[in-house]
């Protein structure tokens, strides 16, 4: 092993990497929000909807959770042009991640919706709560408390998942690592530095989410 690590050559790119980290966070946030909309809608369908719709949602969830996100985006990016739909790499990544997140978030939220207890509803009725009050004071706080930790966990996993955008040439954190690697060839230094970037941004996200969960929903989350 006669290789000397030269972090000095990589340090000038710190700002460039930080910009990439922001783009990673942006992709994760946008696709998580999109996935949350899909997930909430579809989870309500599985919990309360008619049977044909429930089957459709089930097919969507099964198809998307049993195939890799990378190949789903490959399909969107390379196969949709066959049908005349051209997506930019950023669009393909965003749509692919949103659809994938939608499937996982449907699964998670379905479990949350089912966790509402009949006795709690009956208790609320006995106390003379109106329908709206039942939703506002009994169902929502309960569901939010149960759902917050797994949703936060999924958000962290999705932040890590954004790195596959680099495969399609999106210049987020990992994409920028590949760019700098092509310029400087300081591969080990670059990728270890980028790894530390990911540790820092996901750890910051975990801390922030744990704090929000504790203050807003009284959800207890383990940090370490």
Contact set with another protein (CB under 8 A): 1-3, 62-63, 65-72, 74-75, 78-79, 81-84, 156, 160-164, 166-167, 174, 177, 187-188, 191-192, 194-195, 198-199, 202-203, 224
Least Å from the CB of residue 185 to another protein: 10
3-state SS string for the chain: CCCCCCHHHCHHHHHHHHHHHHHHHHHHHHHHHHHHHHHHHHHHHHHHCCHHHHHHHHHHHHHHHCCCHHHHHHHHHHHHHHHCCCCCHHHHHHHHHHHHHHHHHHHHHHHHHHCCCHHHHHHHHHCCCCHHHHHHHHHHHHHHHHHHHHHHHHHHHHHHHHHHHHHHCCCCHHHHHHHHHHHHCCHHHHHHHHHHHHHHHHHHHHHHHHHHHHHHHCCCCCCC
Distances in Å between the alpha carbon of 156 and those of 101, 141, 170, 198?
Answer: 12, 23, 20, 10
142-to-29, 52, 150 alpha-carbon distances in Å: 24, 29, 14
**Cβ-based nearer residue to another protein, 144 or 156:** 156
What the block records as the tokens of 130 is: 């109106």
CB count within 10 Å of CB 8 equals 9
Cβ closest to another protein, residue 134 vs residue 184: 184
C-beta of 68 vs 141, nearer to another protein: 68
Which CB sits closer to another protein, 33 or 79?
79
| Residue with smaller CB distance to another protein, 98 or 174 | 174
CB of 20 to another protein, least distance (A): 12
How near is the Cβ of 209 to another protein at its closest, in Å? 14
Taking the least distance from each CB to another protein, the nearer of 36 and 172 is 172
Cβ at position 158, least distance to another protein in Å: 11
Nearer to another protein, 66 or 118 (CB): 66
Q: How far is the CB of 110 from another protein (least distance, A)?
A: 13
Shortest distance in whole angstroms from residue 77 CB to another protein: 8
For the CB of residue 192, give the shortest distance to another protein in the complex, in Å: 6
């Amino acid at each position: 092993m006669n290789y000397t690590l030269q972090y000095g050559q990589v340090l000038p790119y710190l700002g460039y990497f930080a910009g990439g980290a922001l783009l990673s966070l942006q992709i994760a946030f946008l696709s998580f929000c999109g996935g949350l909309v899909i997930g909430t809608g579809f989870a309500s369908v599985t919990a309360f909807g008619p049977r044909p719709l429930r089957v459709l949602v089930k097919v969507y969830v099964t198809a998307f959770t049993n195939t890799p996100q990378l190949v789903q985006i490959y399909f969107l990016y390379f196969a949709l042009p066959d049908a005349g739909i051209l997506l930019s790499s950023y669009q393909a990544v965003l749509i692919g991640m949103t659809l994938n997140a939608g499937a996982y978030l449907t699964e998670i939220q379905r479990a949350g919706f089912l966790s509402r207890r009949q006795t709690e509803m009956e208790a609320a009725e006995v106390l003379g709560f109106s329908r709206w009050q039942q939703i506002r004071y009994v169902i929502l706080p309960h569901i939010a408390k149960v759902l917050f930790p797994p949703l936060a966990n999924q958000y962290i996993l999705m932040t890590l998942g954004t790195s596959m955008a680099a495969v399609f040439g999106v210049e987020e954190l990992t994409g920028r690592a590949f760019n700098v690697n092509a310029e400087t060839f300081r591969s080990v230094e670059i990728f270890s530095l980028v790894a530390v970037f990911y540790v820092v941004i996901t750890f910051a996200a975990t801390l922030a989410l744990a704090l929000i969960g504790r203050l807003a929903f009284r959800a207890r989350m383990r940090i370490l």
